[in-house]
A and B are shown apart, each in its own frame.
Chain A
């Protein structure tokens, strides 16, 4: 029974975690440097399972890092650079204090810097890893590129962000990989499919930012520092995959076309090149001059059969979507967001131009007779050409999301626009589907529209049910695995629908064999109720929670469904997380 007394908190989870302050001391870094290091290296706190054990018996709120992570940080060469920088700042301050200007200059020249290449490689061992994590980088760079050069961050950062985002947009245009766009109240969402990865980013509307005071820009700058490095490497690689020259160069043909007469008046040469690139109206130079992208045919594998066909069909659809606006000639009025629209239109093969005074890179004038669509966002226009459509910008966005050219009538100049729906919502059955979406689905199936919203509302219910049934049938055809689940869910739905109140004692002469089915159902329901009574406490709790969630979704859907009928519109969030 002897042996040393085991001390508490010297083994197990207490040694696996380390508090933030201790980690900071171990690394000999200030809190700001530690934060930067964590951001750059992607180290985040962990929540121990038994917080009290890890916290050595205390219940004080603390942030815990994995001890392994901190040990991993100890070997990071950047830590040394941080220390060097600290020394540099100290020396510089001293030199300033002594007014040793030559010393200041010398120190400035030898300012220690660091590179993040190895960190990027370490955090993202493969290119696909990096591509998967680029959403935040894109959004951040797009945000920073819209900042005014007023000292919230370095001007170099802003220009770099701008450059990288322009490169990215050019890549997306060239690879035609844009899939979805959405005009939200926050900004414009874009979703592109790059090398099989869905990448979504958000671009703010073009306004000057009202810089908030309660935001730590240093944190954002550190993130941007990391993101720009990552983003640059990704851009390089992506350009390589398309045989494009990096940094991007305009096609020599395009360049000569774009050569404006009074270019010198416009901007300096170096600046105007980026502007020309960001105009997105010209194609990029390639390393190896090839003809337009060759069609990559899918090889046929006889074994796959149906699956192969489906894939082929999908491929075709995608190709069709890529050529959505091909052959159309757009002209952007000055009041529409030029960059966004030019980007989208060019992604789908259209020709775009704008007024010369608006931006560099416009290729044709308003007076061009071959223009098919002019995008306007004003109530009326004085001079209208007869052979073109004057449409509002939402048409472009809705058409992209619908993967077809929508009828232009709803989007004409001055008309009230139909609602703009999010393309990111995928309705499962049981969810609320707005009538516009149903209409769109009908259009996509090739049915003739022609119902107003009110009519749609009235028929919505039936249609939805039909839809569901159709879908279900489809499912059944495709695979029988889901069948059981579906029927079960149906049962559940029905159960909810019939609303058998528990514990209603039948009148004691239910001998009449009038409704056998109903009787049977009731019996079953009671059986279930009795079984529920015998559930264990834990399971009962879980079961109740699940059922509560289900009920809430149905309630919300029903409230949304009845909303249009009411004089005042009504909404509840239908994004409740439902565990099933």
Chain B
């Protein structure tokens, strides 16, 4: 059964083939027809060449001299199967065959694999014009066959097959010694040695492998060649010159032109025709038009009528054979109808009916394997997943270690009202908001979508970003780092420190009680008298005013020669002196207020001065005032070399320090002794621009505040004791606690630094109460209070308790924010000072007023 199947299959296939084939007659087309490209050369022609359909068959020898073989087909070319690319040219078409017009790719289109070995028809001597396209096809460099004589031609087939492997073997005109000397000129030395057939057909020459170009005649008896019959047509062909198809000009310098078949020289005609002879010939000879010159023999040949006729026919593109009918009806080689019977009539082989033993063995093996259960039928693939109770034996404790670290993904946020398809109208965006929404970046938008209102459910469109949002969620799930974030869940009230109530820390100034009005420009500095009855103020309107504290009355106004930078009342209650500085002058005034005894004793003190015997050169000049100035209260004038910014008294009231800020010299601070009218410069070096200075209330210490640091000097030992780092950008003011162990610094960068000198050189507390630059700070003499005034127009009173117990840190509590000063020219409060005995604070401001808060 199986066999039959195969057979029938074969049958079908054959019949199929049959349809493709063209009738055998087609094979026998005359050679001329081959010059035109075969329309269907492929499968049709070479149906037997199944494996390699590319061999093209040239029907050999059809031309004039031989009749075409009727069925050269498979039998003739059976040897070609192994080498489909050898093309056989009909030999001996000598005279009549014109070179193929398109010998190239068209002709050999079926030579797909190796289209280039082409055999040139030998001996086309006379009529053959050089081919127009000789290139790769027609003139393969090597294999040119020299027609050495007719005997050779019969062996064509054998020769050709040998030519395949060695394309460059050249056939030698045999026999003569003479000829072999020509060989060197005739051909280029063969690159590959080859075998050459002797023209007699009896022997074969083979070039020597090791000596290319030198041909050693080695004779082989070639019995194999005898099987080719020598066709009489080849013998009868008239070949006079045996040099072959070579350029004849090679023989230019010789008297002969080649060799005939017997090996004799063919001599050129003695006299060549010149132009005149040619012309005469042309004019006179009636056969001139049919005379052609044979280069190989150098003779003129007159073409016969048949030949001329043939040339004419070929020129017209007709077949050379007159009798050939090119329009014969085509008969299929195989019928195009599917046949039920095989093409071959061969009876089936016996083996087709005998079961195969090998197959039986194989089958029995398989059967055994199936029986043993080694081979099982393939299970059908399951496409749907199988579900079962995965958590049948769930053990909540069997959690992998990493699950402890696992942070579950946060859930999607639930939608709010604004996401509704029909939201309340207040959730819809106004036109401006919509515009703003559209212009925002997608990341900045508070809502990722535009709230929309639809009148009914059927009007709701698809949400265009649905897949996007799902995808983004996916990205979040696998790309976002997860972290447990501690949400600060504190009550803001808990953050506020628990401080003692200001009520419990009384007394402190709470309300503004008096405003001292009189100055016309900003009041730079104020100072209260040690008794607390008087207040002195210096202003930019070049006046110093004395006020009675309790009434707010201006007792006295003194004009001075410049804007007053600083005023300081002598802290000694037994002396009534006020230091005033303006420009480069420090003026000591006796205001004449208060106890007359004190006033007179002060005057006495000043006049009782006796100049020392030897006058020392001093940095300042001390001058005693006289005349109207003396009546005004001027007592002493200290003229400094530079502008003075600040004056400050020592606690005892005899020493006075003045500050002349100058970044370039060491002469910045001067200490004056009033009783001896002596001045000294305590510093040898410049340590930076001095902002303010101050005396220690009890010990002989001197505080100098530069831009960023406060230096504490011991005046007796004359050395630097401490350097305090304020952490401020620019110190504006400084005050020392009456106890002497604490210090506050106000700075222009809104900070107030409290230093505990026993604790550290860094601030104990940094207070940022003010919004603008601090201008003045002050301690109260008796109460645990300190005040700071700033450009924001407020004075902040803080409770600053310093304990005697060294273990307890100072307690600082802000108790009151006092406001009242107007801000003029971006300046608010310029100076603050406490009342010496009462818990009152004075503040002077840029609005030309002084205010008293009680």
Contact = CB atoms under 8 A, between A and B. Distances in A.
Nearest to A182: B415
Nearest to B402: A72
B426 A503 contact: no
Interface string A128-165: 00101101100110010000000000001000100000
B426 A571 contact: yes
A546 B420 contact: no
B2 interface: no
B483 A47 contact: yes
A333 to B, nearest CB: 10
Nearest to B423: A419
A335 B816 CA distance: 73
Given A126-B394, A184-B415, A531-B499, A205 B423 contact: no
Given A204-B462, A421-B424, A569 B482 contact: no
Interface string B1-25: 0000000000000000000000000
Interface in B470-507: 470-471, 473-475, 477-483, 487-493, 495-499, 501-503
A101 interface: no
A184 B446 CA distance: 18
Contacts of A416: 455
> Most B CB atoms within 10 A — which of A39, A120, A503, A526?
A503
B298 to A, nearest CB: 64
Interface in A244-265: 246
B491 A564 contact: no
A236 B406 CA distance: 26
Contacts, number: 307
Contacts of A526: 817
A422 B426 contact: no
A125 B819 contact: no
A44 B458 contact: no
Contacts of A235: 387
Interface stretch (B61-69, B285-293, B428-436, B522-530): B428-436
B418 A69 contact: no
B612 interface: no
B468 interface: yes
B430 A143 contact: no
Contact of B390 (A117, A508, A523): A117
B411 interface: yes
A204 B415 contact: no
Contacts of A529: 817
Contacts of A185: 419-421, 449, 451-452, 454, 460, 463
Contacts of B403: 125
A69 B455 CA distance: 52
B400 A421 contact: no
Contact of A44 (B420, B457, B470, B477): B477
B502 A530 contact: yes
Interface string B372-401: 000000100101110111110011101111
Contacts of A530: 499, 502, 813-817
B457 A394 contact: yes
A568 B434 CA distance: 12
Contacts of B408: 132-133
B818 A505 contact: yes
B155 to A, nearest CB: 46
B814 A533 contact: yes
B420 A534 contact: no
Contacts of B384: 160
A366 to B, nearest CB: 19
A425 B416 contact: yes
A232 B454 CA distance: 37
A184 B415 CA distance: 8
Contacts of A170: none
A580 interface: yes
A125 B398 contact: yes
B276 interface: no
Given A125-B395, A335-B458, A503-B794, A417 B422 contact: yes
B425 A121 contact: no
Contacts of B420: 182-185, 419-422
B496 A212 contact: no
Contacts of B458: 335-336, 377-378
B412 A424 contact: no
Contacts of B422: 183, 394, 417, 419-420
A267 interface: no
B512 interface: yes
A68 B401 CA distance: 10
B446 A573 contact: yes
> Range of interface residues on chain A?
35 or more
Given A66-B405, A571-B451, A542 B490 contact: yes
Given A47-B481, A209-B467, A436 B424 contact: yes
Contacts of B402: 68-69, 72
Given A44-B479, A377-B456, A571 B391 contact: no
Contacts of A575: 413, 416, 446
Interface string A223-245: 10000110011011100100000
A35 interface: yes
A45 B433 CA distance: 37
A430 interface: no
Nearest to A561: B426
B466 A204 contact: yes
Contact of B497 (A200, A531, A542): A531
B497 A569 contact: no
A64 interface: yes
B478 A209 contact: no
B385 A160 contact: yes
A199 B293 CA distance: 109
Contacts of A237: 389-391
B495 A424 contact: no
B385 A232 contact: yes
A328 to B, nearest CB: 19
Contact of A228 (B385, B389, B414): B385
Contact of B471 (A39, A216, A392, A546): A216
A136 B769 CA distance: 52
Contact of A187 (B387, B463, B511, B513): B463
A573 B418 contact: yes
A534 B813 contact: yes
A571 B433 contact: yes
Contacts of B431: 568
B481 A542 contact: no
A181 B207 CA distance: 102
Given A126-B394, A186-B419, A336 B378 contact: no
Contact of A207 (B449, B462, B496, B768): B462
Given A237-B389, A335-B458, A564-B425, A210 B464 contact: yes
A281 B489 CA distance: 49
B491 A488 contact: yes
A245 to B, nearest CB: 13
6 contacts: A64-B481, A68-B401, A125-B398, A393-B457, A421-B420, A539-B495
Interface of B: 378, 381, 383-385, 387-391, 394-396, 398-403, 405-406, 408-409, 411-431, 433, 446-447, 449, 451-452, 454-458, 460-464, 466-471, 473-475, 477-483, 487-493, 495-499, 501-503, 511-513, 767-769, 794, 812-820
Interface of A: 35, 38-39, 42-47, 63-64, 66, 68-69, 72, 109, 115, 117, 120-122, 124-127, 130, 132-133, 135-136, 139-140, 143, 156, 160, 182-187, 189, 200, 202, 204-205, 207-212, 214-216, 219-220, 223, 228-229, 232-233, 235-237, 240, 246, 335-337, 377-378, 392-394, 416-417, 419-422, 424-425, 434-436, 485, 488, 492, 502-506, 508, 523, 526-535, 537, 539, 542-543, 546-547, 560, 563-564, 568-575, 579-580
Given A133-B409, A182-B415, A183-B422, 16 more contacts: A42-B406, A44-B481, A68-B402, A125-B398, A136-B412, A183-B421, A186-B469, A204-B463, A219-B471, A233-B387, A392-B456, A434-B426, A531-B498, A569-B426, A575-B446, A580-B492
